[in-house]
A and B are shown apart, each in its own frame.
Chain A
Amino acid sequence: MAEELSAGGIRVVPTALGDAAGAAGAVSASVRSGVGDLLAGSGWQAAGDAGCADALSRAARLLEQTLDAAADGVSDLGRALAVARDAYRTVDTVAVPGASR
């Protein structure tokens, strides 16, 4: 993120948004691979008992879907960020005393 907002010499927005957007994608990928190991290669069969393995498989599959939804949330976040940055560049910003672009 190129632009910066300073208030009292503290850089606020660009760094925070950049951290948030980047971290969200990276963590989701590692977490999803962890849960994916349960499903890939039938890791759930390690439970031994068929009924328990089914329950584990079902939980892992639904958890994976939950993480997929979280990944979609990252996209939503990115889109909202793009709109907000665009608004920030134009006229949609309320000036804050002491803040300067």
Chain B
Amino acid sequence: MRQLALVELRLSPALQAADPAALSRQGLAASSAVGSLRAQAGRLDALESRLEAGLWVSPASAQFIRAAQEQARRLRVAADLCQALASALGTLAAALQRARADALAAVIRAGHLDAAALELNRRLLAQPTLVPQDPDSRLLSDPEADLINIQRQASARALALAEASAASAWQHASAAFDAVSYGTPVMRQRMETGRWELASSVSLASGVLADLRSCGVMQQLGLPANGQITGPDGRAYSVVVQTARGRDGQLLVSTQETPSAAGDWHELAVRFGTTEYGRRAAGWEKVAVAVGGVAGAAYPEGSTFAPELLSELHIMAGGGAYVPELAVESGDPVKEAPAEPPRGQEHSHYWTRPTTGVAGGRRAGAPDAIGLIDAGIAGVLLAGKLDDSRAADYRIVFEEDSAGHRQARLQLFRVLVAPNESPRTIAAGGYVDAHGHLAGIAVTGESPQLHPILTPGH
């Protein structure tokens, strides 16, 4: 029989370095801070309610009340963050406590088994000196070595399980700590209003995306699954088009958020802004349109995108956007500018192609001259509007799940204006195209006449 090798199980350096007791103490400190902060905020509220009785009324006292309200709000924000930190620390401490205990037990068991293996090896070396009648010779059997090996394998499995449990606890705690970080005013400001440009922050990831769930949806839509956005925080987020399932089971691109769609994704930040995407009109196209106008080409009344209305757009928290009722000018030649040709599934009524050519028939000299000048001006103005459809408002939701995966759900909104009609919103799901540029896929199934039954699509 061969000698048994020693397994010498050890805790991982990370689990060895973990100090659950210290984490627990820190959690308790954070938890006690919650009570203090909330009590303080409560005192400020009580002060405010007593002053509101009208006993001390002046602009200066009103300013003081506002300062007190703001202070109470800050304290509550800090209290909530301390609460989240305390909760995460407590959960991590408890999980690491269990994992360490299990791992140490496995290591100790393995140590005992190594000692048994050493003893077996020692007797194995001494075996040639034993006579068959020696009772010890009966101990040197394969079944005994097999039993030691089986028990050592069980210990190794127990250690691996404990380490996996610790790794999972670290992942969950990291996500919880991130949630605290992104809940702070400093990070909120950075994510929501800090200097950042969406269109220049998209790219295609060279590696494999961390979240296969996202890949599935993007592949079903026929879109690149490795698009990513480098957020205002400098971290990479996988780009995911928000989807839902229609009543027929069809995958729809949607702006509507359903609560159950969130899954275990935690919202880190939501950012709104304006960007540009899509094909930029080439120089020759602009020249052709301008020259066409001078040559008398007629551009009919039609729909056009109106980037100047993007600032009026109301983007809703639950998804979607609308333009409030505005007075629509009519007869403005600039409004006749066509949008860019449709891309993908975009419906054709969203744009109107300019008609070309010169109308036949006899021409009167003076009116034609006026008409040509007018058409020429319209053509030049139109040439400058060819890129209007590129401008869009966006809403982007940065999220992280408990396993540390990050994703960004991106929606793009443009405003379409048709003569004598109210402006309307054209929504699209944002993604990164095969060239690494920002692109949009038209929203489907959100017709007011046909509300789909939405179920989580990602």
| A interface residue numbers (CB < 8 A to B) | 5, 7, 12-13, 16-17, 19-20, 23-24, 27-28, 30-31, 34-35, 37-38, 43, 45-52, 55-56, 58-60, 62-63, 65-67, 69-70, 73-74, 76-77, 79-81, 83-84, 86-88, 92-94, 96, 99
Task: Tell me how far the C-beta of A36 lies from the nearest C-beta in chain B, rounded to whole angstroms.
Answer: 10
Contacts of A27 in B (CB 8 A): 36-37, 39-40
Closest CB-CB distance, B322 to chain A, in whole Å?
35
Q: Inside 8 A of B33's CB, which chain A residues have their CB?
A: 30-31, 34-35
Interface membership of B125, Cβ < 8 A: no
> Do A48 and B185 contact each other (CB < 8 Å), given the known contacts A27-B39, A77-B64, A83-B63?
no
Q: Give the Cβ gap from B43 to chain A, nearest Cβ, in Å.
A: 5
Give Cα A52–Cα B18 distance, bound, in whole angstroms: 11
Given contacts A47-B18, A47-B173, A83-B63, contact A63 B81 (CB under 8 A): yes
Interface residues on B, range: 35 or more
Report chain B residues within 8 Å CB of A28: 40
Interface centre among A48, A76, A92 (most CB of B within 10 A): A48
Question: Is B67 a contact partner of A77 (Cβ separation < 8 A)?
Answer: yes
Tell me if A55 and B173 are in contact (CB < 8 A): yes
- Which residues of the other chain, A, contact B26 by a CB distance below 8 angstroms? 37-38, 43, 46
**Is residue B23 contacting chain A, with contact meaning CB distance below 8 A?**
yes
A5 contact set on B, CB distance < 8 A = 55-56
When the two chains form their complex, are residues B184 and A63 in contact, meaning their CB atoms are under 8 A apart?
yes
Q: Is the CB of A12 within 8 A of B56?
A: yes
**When the two chains form the complex, which single residue of A16, A55, A92, A93 contacts B174, counting CB atoms closer than 8 Å?**
A55
Q: Are A13 and B55 in contact (CB under 8 A)?
A: yes
Give 1 or 0 for each of B53-81: 1 = CB within 8 Å of chain A CB. Answer: 11111111101101110110011011001
Any A CB within 8 A of the CB of B186: yes
B30 within 8 A of A: yes
**B82 on the A face (CB < 8 A):** yes
Complex Cα spacing A59 to B357, Å: 65
Chain B residues in 8 Å Cβ range of A24: 40, 44, 71, 75
A46 near B174 with CB under 8 A, answer no
Chain B residues positioned under 8 Å from A86 (CB to CB): 60
B279 nearest CB across to chain A (Å): 40
Cβ-closest chain A residue relative to B67: A80
Residue of A nearest to B76 (CB): A70
B68 touches A77 (CB 8 A): yes
State whether the Cβ of B415 lies closer than 8 Å to any Cβ in chain A. Answer: no
- A55: B residues at CB distance < 8 A: 173-174, 177-178, 181
In the A-B complex, list the 3 residue pairs whose CB atoms are closest, starting with the nearest.
A48-B18, A87-B60, A34-B29
Residues in B with CB closer than 8 Å to A31 are: 33, 36-37, 78, 82
B408 within 8 A of A: no
Q: Which residues of B contact A (CB under 8 A)?
A: 14-20, 22-23, 26, 29-30, 32-33, 36-37, 39-40, 43-44, 46-47, 50-51, 53-61, 63-64, 66-68, 70-71, 74-75, 77-78, 81-82, 85, 89, 92, 96, 166-167, 170-171, 173-174, 177-178, 180-181, 184-187
B81 touches A47 (CB 8 A): no
- Of A34, A35, A46, A52, which one neighbours B19 at CB under 8 angstroms? A46
Instruction: Tell me the complex Cα distance, A30–B43, Å.
Output: 17
A residues less than 8 Å from B63 (CB atoms): 80, 83-84
Are A83 and B92 within 8 A (Cβ)? no
If A27-B40, A73-B74 touch, does A52 touch B174 (CB 8 Å cutoff)?
yes
27 CB-based A-B contacts, threshold 8 Å: A5-B56, A7-B55, A12-B55, A24-B44, A27-B36, A30-B33, A31-B78, A38-B26, A45-B17, A46-B26, A47-B23, A48-B18, A52-B174, A55-B173, A62-B186, A63-B82, A65-B186, A66-B81, A66-B185, A73-B74, A73-B75, A76-B70, A77-B68, A81-B67, A94-B57, A94-B58, A96-B54
- Provide the bound-state CA to CA distance between A86 and B44, in Å: 20
Nearest B residue to A8, CB-CB: B55
| B56–A93 CB distance below 8 A | yes
B39 lies within 8 A of A59 (CB): no
| Closest chain A CB from B169 CB (angstroms) | 8
Q: By the criterion CB–CB under 8 Å, are A12 and B50 in contact?
A: yes
Contact across chains for B170 and A47 when beta carbons are under 8 A apart:
yes
Chain B residues whose C-beta falls within 8 Å of the C-beta of A79 in the assembled complex? 67
List residues of chain B with CB within 8 A of the CB of A58: 177-178, 181
Query: Bound complex: CA of A48 vs CA of B89, how far in Å?
Result: 12
- Once the chains bind, are B75 and A70 in contact (CB under 8 Å)? yes
* B58 & A88 in contact (Cβ 8 Å cutoff): yes
